[in-house]
Structure 1
Amino acid sequence: MPGPPPAWHPRVDPAPLLPDAEPHRVLGTDAALQLDAALLKRLYVQLVRGRRYNTQATALTRQGRLAVYPSSTGQEACQVAAALALQERDWLFPSYRDTLAAVARGLDPVEALTLLRGDWHTGYDPRACRIAPLCTPLATQLPHAVGLAHAARLRGDDVVALALVGDGGTSEGDFHEALNFAAVWQAPVVFLVQNNGFAISVPLAKQTAAPSLAHKAVGYGMPGRLVDGNDAPAVHGVLTEAVRRAREGGGPTLVEAVTYRVDAHTNADDATRYRTADEVEAWRAHDPIALMERELTARGLLTDDFAAATRDGAEEMAADLRERMHQDPALDPDDLFTHVYAERTTQLRQQSDQLRAELAAEAATDEPAQEARP
């Protein structure tokens, strides 16, 4: 049978788009000697602070102060590196597990946890902090990131969007649509897949037969990069280069960071039903904080004073978070209808009136009961 007509040709050369066979690493290699000491110390401070943030937020769920908390313990290197790779004018698009990335970018920890507390749909002003609302539906933040990045480029704004997603999110249609649009439009956006091994209880092998998730980039015409997600300087370097490339008009990049979710999916999950304790312990030996401490110690940067100041700073953050999260917020039930549309629909107005009437009737019923008490 004859082949396609001569006019057919590959759109792009696939070779430069392919990821490396093994995850990119820096710590423990000769490349680590070239790392800036200030960057190493900054990453370490954020990692320690992030671990303490995770443990404190998890404790708040047990105390009834959070409805749910999806911990990123073990994944802190991905979260911190994503935040530090961006410029102030850039945008971060987090998923529900990425509150630490938002905090590392400068968001107040209480505001980052407000959604998970159940007080507001979003506890912060996205425009003010350049952080999109935490996204609970899987991967729906990815097309949003592409749209914002594409619009920014059309307006001439020097802006890059960085979107975070888990390995489970790569099985969603939104993932396909976002990558396809991003590549066709050459939008200035970076996709960071945190491959932590499981989509709740579903292991990666039951989601995809691809050599790696980074290989999926080739099918869309963008570079795929594979990195050790527990190696904070490696993740930071790969993301920084991807952000620079996007800002200079090089288009999108898909980065897969191989990491591990040490804690359960959320406080409502029993992870022992689908993975072994030996598997978890094997990953604890590759802990991102321990990897950084080895490097800092080898270079004489982890002094007693620096380590103590880092721990003290993390404890102060946790204490402040704990104190403020134990204060009951003043909530207005009518806010349920205030921020749905710019102008309330007829149905929303009717629902708001009905709620007010029910609250007024409840208050009127409670007053006689209170007066009757001795």
Structure 2
Amino acid sequence: MIRLPDSSGRLRAYTPVGKGGHGAGAQGPAPRSRTVFAAAHVVADPLADTTPEGPAAVDWDATLAFRRHLWAHGLGVAEAMDTAQRGMGLDWEGAAELIRRSAAEARAVGGRIACGAGTDHLPATGQPAAGHTLAAITAAYGEQLHTVEETGAQAILMASRALAATARGPEDYEQVYGALLAQAERPVILHWLGPMFDPALAGYWGSQDLDTATDTFLRVVAAHPGRVDGVKVSLLDAGREVALRRRLPEGVRCYTGDDFHYPELIEGDAQGHSDALLGVFDPLAPLAAQAVRQLDAGGAGGFRATLDPTVPLARHLFQEPTRYYKTGVVLLAWLAGHQEHFTMVGGLQSARSLPHLARAYELADGIGLFPDPELAQARMKQLLAVHGVH
């Protein structure tokens, strides 16, 4: 039994379910019927003498070990994305090192990897009116794109805060992305990250109206045949994603980034399906891999039976303010034994309340996510004790 705080601040008794095993899960080859990436978190070095404003101190051994865990289950790794606290504790210098190390590890184990390229090494300008020029933004993107591609990894063109602040309309996005797609050595993934994940990206693709923005996004894809492997859509709107994927050119994938509706989007319908590039598949990797292999075998019912019970946990982790979902992801990695501490770069372990973290533990325990439920319970009790709950 463990006493957990609820949202009202009261303590209540919780008896762990005690069923483990999913968190270890059967390892296996990559799924065949869907392409599946897990956006992976970074493990901080808890002994580093740094500050929230200072450069990120990363425990490289633990960080790379977690990526080997993802590859062992047959998932691809989406590296240096927002799940890795890109722009929320991890700067470009740290991200570039992460990309180089992870790409080398991917080559060594035969794992699939795609890495984020953006413009986050540009100096902050403060006011949008004082933004960078389109030429400077394009050059910054190009520098990061080159860094990714020279490692042999696939590039993910991330949404740019600098471009959102500078662009005057859709034509500026078309100009910048057109230049980048012409430069890319191999097909890339375009990422549309909604403002719920990063408020600085409001109005991306040149309009606050999502229908107008979608038209621009699709024009960019259609204007560069063979240059776009797929698009990652993180808007938490299943209907909009389905409508968008039905308008994609032949051969262009839709990678769902919808951490609320992923089972139905990955399953798809008679007119198509989404592949996956999801932050929530960081903690759910064994279950996600198991589910998609069931889909490979023609078992859509088994796929949903495995994955649907994970949705309440995902919705809890990604509740508003959504951008702090990383805190719950790292908590679960610690409770599951993938790292030895609950410390995050930038001190982001403080970004969620104790009741929120307690509920994440309860939901994860309820679906049998932890390989060792007793370890998870002991570590949760340690966290509670630090907060004065005995």
Which of the pair is proportionally richer in helix? 1
Smaller-chain TM-score range? 0.3 to 0.5
Larger radius of gyration: 1
